[in-house]
Structure 1
Amino acid sequence: MNISAFWLIVLSIWIFILQSRVKDLEKTIQRLKDKKPYTPAIDDETPIAVQENAEENETPQILPPVETEESDETVHHAEVFRQSYDREIQKEPAKPASFIANYFTQGNLLVRIGGIVLFFGLAFLVKYAAEHSIISMQMRLEFIAVAAVALVITGWKLREREGAYGQILQGLGIAMLYLVIYAAAKFYAMLPLDTAFALMFMVVVLGSVLAVMENALPLALFATAGGFLVPILTSNGEGSHIILFSYYVFLNLGVFIVAWHRSWRLLNVVGFLFTFVIATVWGVLRYRPELFNTTEPFLILYFVMYLTISILFTLKHTFKPKNFVDSTLVFGLPLFAFPLQVSLVKPMEYGEACSALVLGTLYLILSRLLGKRERTALLAQTFLALGVVFYTIAIPYLFDADVTASLWSLEGSALIWMALKQEKQYARYFGEMLVLLSIVIYPDSVSFQGISPAEYLGYIIVITSSLIASYLLDSYQRQLSASQRLLARIFLGLSLFLWFTCTPSEFLKLDNMLYSNALLFSLASGAFLLFVVSRVSAWKLLTDTLQGYMLLGILFFFTGMTHTLAHPHPFEGFGALALGILFFLGYLFLYTYGHVWKYTKQIHILSLWFMTAVLMLELRYHAELLHAGKSIVMVAVAVVPVLFSFWLLLPKKYISWMEIHRNTYQFTGAGGLVTVLIFWELTAFRIAPDFSLLPYIPVLNLLDMMQIAVLGTVFYWIYHNRTFFPQNTRTVLYALTVFISVLLASVIFARIVHSFKGVDYTLVALWKNIYFQSGLSILWSTIAIIAMLLSKRYSSRLLWLSGFGLLILVVLKLFFVELASSGTIERIISFIVVGSLLLLIGYFVPLPPNESKEER
């Protein structure tokens, strides 16, 4: 990844966040000042002196005591003080844009515009004169120098005039002096460099002293801007960068001197922008590695000067409360200076890392020193944040991407902890960003190579840091908004994702380990670790998350089984151990947290059904290995749900262990198994008797007996849970069971015909066979008669009507099916037997009985 672009993005985002915070704090303080102005103590017996502005050498106004009530006098003097205080605040332009607008809209407009035009004209004159020899160089420069001195003297004499007339003239004169000295040294070699710099220093001192004495920000701005523009306007594309940067050192020294006495934010920003923008342009166009020794000292010097100026602004600011920060300078300085430093030291090994570490250490030391004073508390916190940022930036320069991500994750979780403890919102944002970046970067840094033990350890560090971040954010929810509270769940989910990204590969290193089993082992080991953490920390979010353990296990199991759908073998390899651990932990979690989980009942049922499915698949696999026929395979599939259903429906005294969820298991749990058995029953109807090792004995064979057992289980489940169903539903369920029973009896008879008469076991072949039709008529008639006889015994009209309906169906079949086979003994037997049975039932139960008691 592009480290330079990355740290620049990180630094820019962080500076933008911190700068927004400082500006918000400044606005809040300003609003508080407007609402509650500072009111001095008033003595009734002493006159009150309010000094409007001692720095402008104005005569103090002496206010005689007013002979009114005390409250009126207090209000009057407080208002006078407020007006004076507001005027002092208004001395400081709020923004460069407003200053420029005021410059061209207030005061003596003509002289302001004229001064600027004159300065540019003189600058162009110097350049033109250098290119075209019109008059001697000495005369040109002497003329401009005399004019500059004259403007300074005239401006000093007119300094009291309205519209800052004199200040503008002085600024223009100082800028012209810069022009003369720079041109004489650079273009004409009339002055040695040391002499030129000495003269420049004198001009810097002159402009700074005049600006401070007159408390004139426009003068300081004009002189400073003019000084910076001189080399730009007179440049011919050649010259030494040493001269240029040395010249700017003296200009910045003037800004520094002014900053020592006046907190002029706009002047600081103008000097800063001129210096670093021009340095950046020169670096892009002209810098070469061999110029390092003559460039690096200037960059360091500029940085130190403006870092000191930003501290002086806070120390010497006149506003109250005195905790202001020049956010533009504080954050803009590293944003400009550090990229320049990186471009200088890029050819050096660990040059970028050492630079970041030095800057981080410097900011941390300053934070420690300034944090002891209330006035600089906000500035100290800002330097602390910048120190952390530069230490963070140093990491990718020192280590590979995977190690960087690991360290960032640790740093991010530590920052979140500190920020939440101190309620620092933007520091928490930075920590969250670091953790998220580490989660994104680390997998990518190791994806193209196998995960080594060291890289797996890095994964564990990132996962742990993400879990810590999730825990901290969840624990301090009162500090977070509703949307921010989702971050705790996001970090937890990302940590789980990383766990399943790296851990299965470690288990796959074992011999005969399948991917599905590796997933299950990863799930079980991770869940157990989370279980331990939840027990130690009482972390509710983690406790609730463990509810998804069994559902995730089911997903992993069937995902791994997709490649063996034809012959699934759950216990293959380490499958038995993996599934055993999975179920053990699942029921351990239920035992521990079942009383607090929201979905406890659903998890119980899901675990039951999943265990049943696993055992059904495993028994089916082993039955197929026996090669004993399809019937044995079908029987093996039904064994587990039949046994589990029977076990769950046992009386209370046999299953006291599940008393709390007994109804859930017996109704919903067993109901799901019964539903599966019904589908199995219908599927088994299609299976012909296929016993490779045993002869087919009607009813007394495994398939028929299992189908009878399944129907008995279904009936018993309906009867056992009859109180949960209304009367109509119970009737439908019983009718459905009877209907399936009739089908089973018919299927058993069909298997007899298939086995002993050699008829194909298909619906078409059996339907065309007269033996099957005759026997089916007799069978259905017998069943109908038994049902009608039982209806008399239990006084059930429904049972009688069911038997009667079946008889009608038999009669219809006799006339529409068997009658087509006229002359056959089978048809004759069918008619005789069915007719006899009808006579028999007409004798014993001619009419449906009256229901004297409720059906059971």
Structure 2
Amino acid sequence: MIIWGIFWGAVLGSWFGGHGDFGPFVGAILGFFAGLSLRWAVRSAIRTELQAQAAKAVAPPAASAQAAPSAEDRAQVAPPSPPLPPVPQNTSPDADDPFWTGEPTPHGLPPVPTSASTSAPVPPRPDELRQPAPPNPLEQAVLAARNWLLGGNTIVRVGLVILFIGLSFLARYAASAGLLPVEFRLAAVAAVGIALLVVGFRKRADKPAFALALQGGGVAVMYLTVFAAFRLYGLLPPLYAFGLMIAVCAASCALALLQDSRALAVAAFAGGFAAPILLSTGQGSHVGLFSYYTLLNLAILFIAHKRSWRMLNVVGFVATFGVASAWGALKYQPEHYASTQPFLAGFVLIYLCAAILYARNTPTKLGNAVDTMLVFGTPLVGFGLQAGLVQPFELGAAFSAMAFAALYLVTATVLARRALDSWRLLVECFIAVGVGFATLAVPLALDAQWTSAVWALEGAGAFWVGMRQARWMPRAFGLVLQVVAMLAFLGSTSSISPLPLVNPAFLGALLIALPSLLLAWWLRQPLPHSGSAWARGYAGVEARLSNPAYLYGFVFWCLAWLMEITRHVPGLEAGQWPTPVFSEQVTELLAMLAVVLSAALSMVLGLRTRWAVATWPARGTIAVLALGWAVQVADGYRVLATPAWAVWPAVLALHVWMLRQTDQLQLAADVDGKPGAPSPLAGWFHAATAWLVTLLLADCLWSGIGKAELWHTSWAGVVLLVSAIAVLVLLALWAGRGNRPAARAALPWPLNPHAEAYYWLAALPMAVMVFWGALLAAVHSSGHTAPLPYIPLLNPTDLTLALALGGLVFWRRALLSALPLPARSGWVTGRHALLALALLAFIVINTVWLRVAHHFFGVRWNASALFDSFVVQTGYAILWTLLALGMMVLAHRRMQRPLWLVGAGLLGGVVVKLLLIDLSNAGGAERIIAFIAVGVLMLVVGYFAPLPPKAAARAEPAAPPLAPSQPETLP
């Protein structure tokens, strides 16, 4: 995991700029910590699970707690219980190695002797069961050093350390004092090393640990002696020194194999790999160096065939690829390619075989162990070096990645055919590496849009393989690749291409959409899996992914067509900007048509396959149409313009058809044997359609206004209000027929079953808009009717206001006749709505006089001028008196005392206005007219409409007489 983190961190660091040439190093450092954290988390989880399983396997049955012993019980001396045998330590191969990833071989604990007199063990406290936190890397290093020093024969190891220190002090003192010749001193040190080897070899049977420690010290002394003779004192030529180190390495390897000593072999090969570095003069040939390393690695491979010494593999791997990386960074030149490529390929093949041999020689109960450093580190480090070698060649890195992918996939295929199930983990690791390099080859060879398409197809293929083999990991990998493909595609979107439909943008998005739709189809039903805990957990997540996967694919399907519609053609000349294929207005129309048509095709798919999620996009077309209309209006493009007049009927027809199919699907769904009911949201979709029709109708009227150039007249100010009034009246007439259940059942779709959605949900916002629109038009519209002359009550403003009042009254009556009344409609059907309509009518009548005064008496159309005009005030006095007269006469005839009181209140307001406002017009004729007219009208009111009498109180029925036998009782 650490190597994977370093590799992908370096790759991402090189892709994403911001750190210059240090980007790969910064990414590698961050990847190291990410991999370290991930490995720590995974190992902690595995360790916790294994400890829990071991505790369950060896835990004795719980016994009931016993009471505390009494004094007499304590006086009795219980026989001593036999001591528990020690728990054996884990002796699985390389169990103490922090890089070992094979499953540990658990050892069963010996049973605890029990007897009838032995009390039940006291269960441990929860704080005793809590596992300590795993050590950090520094603590692990200190722990490893302590284990080496204190493990085995501690005295011998401490003695070796002291001996080395003493010899070094002796050599330094002798050199500084000039007591003995250098040759004698080196010969003495070599003699000590040989003596350690001889004594250790002779004691190998009696004291194996003591003997191996002595031999390891002797090998180290021999290496240091040869190094000092060559480097420090120049007593040996390079060739002789190199030969002596090879001889020491070969002899120590022979001793290690003879005694089956891994530590001795590690020491031998460590010196062998260090020999060229220690003896280097800077003038050697890299061919000789890598040839020598090839021989050492072949020897390690030979030992790996016989022994599962992982630490030896680690030493060879680190030394070989470490030295190769250092040489490549410091001295590699393109002309060295032919002489270095065979060695790199040989190193990769050697450690690939070493990984296979280690797995063969390390069986566990859960299958053959896997060395993660060899399995994953070899291809990653090898590919990094290979990429450096082929950097001058075009597509060299892409072909190298394909070569690595082929190598590991072929190896996995051979192992899968010839090996047993115990090799399954290694085979899966090789497949993962091969697929990873095949995936990496795509961005190295293609641009981001083609890369995303290939990754999406590869993810679908991996998911299909996992589905056929009932394995959850390939399926999860396929889903992750879909997300990676999406990110790669969105990271570099470009729709510049001269070719229609076969350009990278369109095909890239389409090849992401189609695999996603295919994955959604496969995910409709639960897929088989292995039954493990991880597989069951993933199955729970996978069961929820079908619908999101389909919607994800549908979005990319629409995105593909949108990118094709917005495609640009490169300029014909250098430096010329790309030109769009379609104009901006046509692009907007085609985009809207593409999305709605895609939703209709999805609806057809859902109807034929009975796939519910395929019908979901149809519910969003109303939002697409509304957005399309808003964008067109913002660009000054009208519905009746060409070609909008042909596109809008088509998309509306598709939208209505999808509404009908959605309703039929909901009604056809059986719920406990009964027909289904419409969704609560279905009514809102129908209501939104009515609102959209209102906007489209207004847009058509605005087109006429624009052609007639009437934007600065009252014709333009009432367009939206006229549209709302027309739709409100149509809804009351058309949908009002279904305001009762019996009448609704006899009507066709969509009134059955959505009549209430039209005459209530859709009409209510329209009514509110008509009310407030009429109020604003009455107050702000001056009634200019150019080029026609102004005619009171027959101009567009007054006619529209009259239609608004009539439409509101008509819709309210249709609502009042509904049985039952819609929910929360009391504020519309109650008395407050009548008062609001009366107030609106009063304001409308007053503004009619304002427009008359403006057009015929020359009063300017602003609030201050109108208020200061005595003509306007006189007209108001007469108008209000006439209104009061009308209300009072009507109230008198209908015997409606409250209405008469309202008229009287208005008349009183007229009197107050005369005294406060009109009286101030000294010498004006308007004041005379106002007072005379109001006085005469008040006389008429007093004569024809006196105050109606109060309604007579109902007489209460007389109480029946008391019977003779029933005495009267007081309350």
TM over 0.5: yes
Q: 1:134 to 1:400 in 2, by over 3 A?
A: farther
Counterpart of 1:59 in structure 2 is none
Note the C-alpha offset of 1:558: 1.9
* Amino acid aligned to 2:593: F
CA contact (8 A) 2:467 2:475 kept: yes
Q: Counterpart of 1:599? A: 681
The residue identity in structure 2 corresponding to 1:687 is S
User: Structure 1 residues 451 and 136 mapped into 2: Cα distance closer, same or farther (>3 Å)?
Assistant: farther
**Bigger shift: 472-481 or 207-216?**
472-481
**What amino acid is the match of 1:585?**
L
1:617 correspondence with 2:686: no
AA of the residue aligned to 1:661 = H
CA–CA distance in structure 2, aligned partners of residues 120 and 390 of structure 1: 50
- State how 1:128-139 maps to structure 2 within 5 Å: none
Provide the C-alpha distance between the structure 1 equivalents of 2:423 and 2:377, rounded to a whole number of angstroms. Answer: 19
Q: Cα offset for 1:174?
A: 4.5
Report the 3-state secondary structure (helix = DSSP H, G, I; strand = E; otherwise coil) of the residue aligned with 1:698: coil
- For the Cα contact (< 8 Å) 1:208–1:258, is it kept in 2? no
Deviation at 1:684, TM superposition (A): 2.3
Query: What letter corresponds to residue 799 of structure 1 in structure 2?
Result: L
Is 1:112 the counterpart of 2:157? The answer is yes
Asked if 1:255 is matched to 2:300, the reply is yes
- Residues 525 and 543 in structure 2, CA contact (< 8 A), matched pair in contact too: no
**SS at structure 2 position matched to 1:527:** helix
What residue is the counterpart of 2:510 in the other structure? Answer: 460
Give the AA of the match of 2:938.
G
Question: 1:429/1:728 Cα in 2 relative to 1: closer, same or farther (>3 Å)?
Answer: closer
In structure 2, the partner of 1:830 is 933
Give distance in 1, aligned partners of 2:389 and 2:720: 75
Q: Report the secondary structure of 1:168's partner residue.
A: helix
1:383 deviates by 0.4
Which residue of 307, 320, 326 corresponds with 1:281?
326
Aligned residues of 1:107 and 1:163 also touching (Cα < 8 A): no
8 Å Cα contact 2:640-2:703 kept in structure 1? no
Partners in 1 of 2:181 and 2:346 — Cα distance? 38
Aligned equivalent of 1:662, options 755, 766, 782: 755
Select 1:95's aligned residue among 87, 98, 106: 98
Residue 386 (structure 1) shift: 0.4
Task: Tell me the residue number matched to 1:5.
Answer: 14
Equivalent residue, structure 2, for 1:799: 899
Q: Distance in 2 between matches of 1:138 and 1:483?
A: 79
* 2:447 pairs with 1:389: no
| Alpha-carbon distance in 1 for matches of 2:495, 2:185 | 70
CA distance in 1, matches of 2:886, 2:288: 120
User: Counterpart of 1:688?
Assistant: 782
SS state at 1:599 partner: helix
In 1, the alpha carbon distance for the partners of 2:340 and 2:162 equals 34
2:442–2:451 contact (8 Å) kept in structure 1: yes
Name the structure 2 match of 1:400: 447
The structural deviation recorded for 1:796 is 4.6
Please tell me whether the aligned partners of residues 696 and 755 of structure 1 are also in contact (alpha carbons under 8 angstroms).
Answer: yes
Q: Deviation string for 1:234-271 (max 9, x for gaps)?
A: 44444333333233233323322332222222332232
CA contact (8 A) 1:322 1:375 kept: yes
Residues of 1 paired with 2:293 and 2:221: CA distance? 16
Q: Which residue of 2 aligns with 1:814?
A: 914
Inter-CA distance 322–744: structure 2 relative to 1 (3 Å threshold): closer
Equivalent position to 1:353, from 391, 398, 401 = 398
Q: For 1:462 and 1:26, locate their aligned partners in 2 and report how far apart those are by CA, in whole Å.
A: 36
Alignment partner, residue 745 of structure 1: 845
- Cα drift, residue 826 of structure 1: 1.8
- Is 1:580 aligned to residue 683 of structure 2? no
TM-superposed CA distance for 1:144, in Å, is 7.3
1:549 is displaced (CA, Å) by 3.0
* In 2, Cα distance between equivalents of 1:122 and 1:494: 76
The CA distance in 1 between the partners of 2:720 and 2:57, in whole Å, is 87
Distance 2:709 2:607 in 1: 50
Moved more, 172-181 or 249-258: 172-181
2:421 to 370, 374, 386: 374
What's the CA shift string for 1:386-405, capped at 9, x where partnerless? 00011111122322333223
Structure 1 residues without counterparts, runs of 5 or longer: 39-78
Name the CA shift for 1:727/1:276 in 2 (closer, same or farther; >3 Å).
closer
Question: In structure 1, which of residues 698, 712, 718 is the aligned counterpart of residue 812 of structure 2?
Answer: 718
- Distance in 2 (CA, whole Å) between partners of 1:286 and 1:114 is 43
User: Partners in 1 of 2:688 and 2:13 — Cα distance?
Assistant: 52
Matching residue within 608, 612, 633 for 2:690: 608
1:414 to 457, 461, 464: 461
After TM superposition, list the pairs within 5 Å mapping 1:172-187 onto structure 2. 172-174=217-219
Q: Which residue of 723, 743, 760 maps to 1:640?
A: 723
Provide Cα deviations, 1:506-525, integer angstroms capped at 9, x if missing partner.
49623574454344234324
Q: 1:273 to 1:827 in 2, by over 3 A?
A: same
Q: Which among 289, 296, 308 is matched to residue 341 of structure 2?
A: 296
Worse-matched range after superposition: 226-235 or 177-186 = 177-186
Single out whichever of 118-127 and 168-177 deviates more from structure 2. 118-127
Contact kept, 8 Å, 1:523 with 1:553, in 2: the verdict is: no
Letter paired with 2:936: V
Letter in 1 for 2:367: K
Alpha-carbon contact 1:520-1:557 (below 8 Å) kept:
no
User: RCO (CA 8 Å, sep 6+): is it higher in 1 or 2?
Assistant: 1
What amino acid sits opposite 1:5 in the alignment?
S
Q: Report the CA distance between 1:490 and its aligned residue.
A: 9.1
Q: Which residue of 2 aligns with 1:42?
A: none
Distance of 1:361 and 1:711 partners within structure 2: 80
AA paired with 1:608? A
Q: Could you tell me whether the CA contact under 8 Å between 2:513 and 2:556 is conserved in 1?
A: yes
Name the structure 2 match of 1:164: 209
2:107 matched residue in structure 1: none
Query: Deviation string for 1:797-817 (max 9, x for gaps)?
Result: 543333232222223223333
Amino acid in the other structure paired with 2:948: P
Count of residue pairs the alignment pairs up: 803
**Alpha-carbon offset, residue 229 of structure 1:** 2.9
- Taking structure 1 as reference, are residues 233 and 847 closer, same or farther at Cα in structure 2, changes over 3 Å only? farther
Letter in 1 for 2:541: L
**Does the Cα contact within 8 Å between 2:558 and 2:594 map onto a contact in 1?**
no
Matches within 5 A, 1:66-81: none
CA-to-aligned-CA distance 1:153-199 (integer Å, 9 cap, x gap): 32222124557221123334445666788999998887979x977x8
User: So what's the TM-score if we normalise by structure 1?
Assistant: 0.80
The answer to whether the Cα contact below 8 Å between 1:126 and 1:183 also exists between their aligned partners in 2 is no
Structure 2 counterpart of 1:781: 881
Q: Distance in 1 between matches of 2:322 and 2:497?
A: 47
Contact 2:632/2:638 (CA < 8 Å) preserved in 1? no
1:12 positional shift: 7.0
TM-fit CA distance, 1:381: 0.6
Q: Deviations over 1:425-474 (max 9, x none)?
A: 65455444543343333355453945753122223223444555666678
Structure 1: distance between partners of 2:185 and 2:612: 84
Partner Cα separation in structure 2 for residue 236 and residue 260 of structure 1: 35
1:558 — aligned with what?
630
SS at match of 1:243: helix
The one-letter code of the counterpart of 2:848 is I
Q: Is 2:276–2:289's contact at 8 Å kept on the other side of the alignment?
A: yes
CA distance in 2, matches of 1:469, 1:127: 74
Aligned 1:484-503 pairs, distance under 5 A: 488=549, 491=552, 495=556, 498-499=559-560, 502-503=563-564
2: CA distance, partners of 1:512 / 1:300: 57
- CA distance in 2 between partners of 1:252 and 1:327 (Å): 18
Contact 1:781–1:810 at 8 Å: present in 2 too? yes
The correspondence of residues 108-257 of structure 1 with structure 2, limited to 5 A, is: 108-109=153-154, 111-112=156-157, 115=160, 150-162=195-207, 164-174=209-219, 206-257=251-302
Name the counterpart of 2:659.
590
Cα distance in structure 2, aligned partners of 1:589 and 1:168: 84
The answer on whether the counterparts of 1:774 and 1:830 sit within 8 Å (CA) in structure 2 is no
Alpha-carbon distance between aligned partners in 2 of 1:847 and 1:758, rounded to the nearest angstrom: 46
